[in-house]
Amino acid sequence: MKHTIDIKFLSISDVKEFADIVSAFNYDIDLVSGRYVVDAKSIMGIFSLDLSKPISLVAHTDDIKPLAEAIRKFC
């Protein structure tokens, strides 16, 4: 099952902290911006996106609650 959450980054340190948090989850997590999709666990992938545009996180899991709680500050 896919779950979507809107994400925003306010600083470079936000990106590093976010990637560190999502890396702890053992399922696929993508970031989608327009037609681009990158691995949310990849700092380089995240920086390849235009961070000033809307970004959606797509988690491929049945239970989104632990992830949603962990990344609440980026929502």
CATH code for the domain of 32: 3.30.1340.10
Question: What is the pLDDT, as a whole number, of residue 11?
Answer: 93
Question: What is the pLDDT, as a whole number, of residue 13?
Answer: 96
pTM: 0.94
Stretch 3-24: mean pLDDT: 96
Q: Report CA 42 to chain centroid distance, whole Å.
A: 10
Question: What is the pLDDT, as a whole number, of residue 51?
Answer: 94
The tally of domains found in the chain comes to 1
* pLDDT tens per residue across span 42-69: 999 999 999 999 999 999 999 999 999 9
Q: How many CA atoms lie within 13 A of 73 on its CB side?
A: 10
- Residue showing tokens 């948090």: 21
In which domain, by residue range, is 16 found? 2-74
Q: How much is the mean pLDDT over the chain?
A: 97
